[in-house]
Amino acid sequence: MDRIRIVGGTPLKGTITIGGAKNAALALMPACLLTEETLALSNLPHLVDITTMANLLAQHGVTMALNGHAANGGHTGRVLELTAAAIGNTTAPYDLVRKMRASVLVLGPLLARCGEARVSLPGGCAIGTRPVDLHLKALEQMGARIELDGGYIIASVEGRLKGAHIIFPQITVGGTENVLMAATLAEGETVIANAAREPEITDLAECLVAMGARIEGIGTGTLKVQGVPRLHGAEYSVVPDRIETGTYAVAAAITRGDIELVGARFDLMESVNKVLMECGVHVEETPRGMRVSADKGEITGVDIMTEPYPGFPTDMQAQLMALMSTARGASMITETIFENRFMHVPEMTRMGARINVHGSSAIVRGAPKLSGAQVMATDLRASVSLVLAALAAEGETIVNRVYHLDRGYERVEEKLAACGAKIERLKDGAAE
């Protein structure tokens, strides 16, 4: 298994280009199942999770053409044409779903288009149990019959799904996406109240509108969808990744460097930027994106609580914890979305970070210095938080189990090395 070797201590300086958002792309790709025409997605990131979703869609009968790297509004990224002319298979098998939980996003579209779907239940993962009960209850409200059998969700509906008034008891990003896609082809009006407002949902809703869906309230907590009998093809560009942006913003801050994040959407970064500025990081919008810099010794501890958008994202919690580990003073980081998202703590502690976890909160006391160590990555954002800590640490760090990182970060070592980081990938079997 590949590992990453980092020798820390260099302030990072330069530019990093931000790619398309993994979590937007993973919702946009299954939307192709809603029409027999072609959905062309540009600014698609080159990530393992995207390949997994492409493999899943291919076995449902989707044909795909990848049109290489294309310039797209200043961003780089690939264009993928997805055509679900005929859906030959409505089963999403365990082997693909277990690799990536977002696979469950084929459920709503398959049910709406084909009247049936058999989707493996995604299991829990390192960050929590992550049930999909709210997705299923909402689809049942829309007239679907749902049974669980042999680890599979078996869903069917006679005729079309029916519009319904859905009130999510808890904000769910995936649940909102599944129901939103299903509702576009349902009979009548669906209201989704307490809908998630993440920019990735706005991206999905705008793409669905480009495909002929009728959706009101985009970007708000109440989505109103008038179902239509069919959708058509469209061309759509994936929104830049706000979590990748935030991660590299922390790379600039933690190394007390200066990086311009080209292609970043400044307007989507409000909660993250507010925290960065509160702890003394300089953040400014530039014509090409945003610039993040920090001076030596300047960062102070701040308290953070993760919340649904527009609050501080759980997907940035581990990265901020790495930064707080190098800050002056203490900070309290409270995780409210997932019950087990502090898996990075013991590994950061091995690098000299001073962190105590009490239930859903972690108290971080800034350490005078972090030191390089062998560490193990447990999930995607935990992995990158260890890379960030390593960039600031004295000496050498080896991050093991790098495959988590490749799920969500494109060419991470190349992007960081271009800003002066001493970082290399040790290929499976290579000497340390």
Ligand X SMILES: CC(=O)N[C@H]1[C@@H](OP(=O)(O)OP(=O)(O)OC[C@H]2O[C@@H](n3ccc(=O)[nH]c3=O)[C@H](O)[C@@H]2O)O[C@H](CO)[C@@H](O)[C@@H]1O
Ligand Y SMILES: C=C(OP(=O)(O)O)C(=O)O
What is the binding site for ligand Y (CB under 6 A)? 23, 100-102, 125, 315, 380-381, 408
Question: Which DSSP symbol is given to 92?
Answer: E
The stretch near ligand X (CB under 6 A) out of 108-116, 143-151, 168-176, 383-391 is 168-176
Shortest CB 429 distance to ligand X, Å: 31
Query: Which of these is catalytic: 32, 125, 207, 279?
Result: 125
The answer for residues whose C-beta is within 8 angstroms of residue 428's C-beta and 6 or more apart is 1, 2
The amino acid at residue 79 is: V
CA 229 – CA 248 distance, rounded (Å): 43
Query: Can you tell me the distance from the alpha carbon of 245 to that of 89, in angstroms, rounded to the nearest whole number?
Result: 37
Interatomic CA distance for residues 231 and 32, integer angstroms: 10
**32 catalytically annotated:** no
Contact string (CB under 6 A) for ligand X, positions 72-111, x = contact: -----------------------------xx---------
* Minimum CB distance to ligand Y smaller for 52 or for 83: 52
Place of tokens 């930064």: 323
Beta-carbon contacts of residue 238 (< 8 Å; ≥ 6 apart): 20, 21, 24, 25, 28, 41, 42, 43, 44, 45, 77, 203
Query: In terms of DSSP H, where are the helices of 100-238?
Result: 107-114, 133-141, 173-184, 199-210
Q: Binding ligand X by CB under 6 A: which of 8, 45, 109, 174?
A: 174
118 is an annotated ligand-binding site residue: no
Q: Which does 220 bind (CB under 5 to 8 A by kind): ligand Y, ligand X, none?
A: none
CB of 380 to ligand Y, least distance (A): 5
Is 22 marked as binding a ligand? yes
Q: How far is CA 65 from CA 35, 44, 227, 399, 408, in A?
A: 16, 13, 29, 35, 22
Least distance to ligand X, CB of residue 383, Å: 13
Q: How many chain residues are in contact with ligand X, going by CB under 6 A?
A: 22
Nearer to ligand Y by C-beta: 100 or 419? 100
Report the interface residues with ligand X, using CB under 6 A: 23, 26, 101-102, 128, 130-135, 170, 172-175, 196, 200, 314-315, 337-338
Binding-site annotation, residues for phosphoenolpyruvate: 22-23
**Which sequence positions are flagged as catalytic?**
125
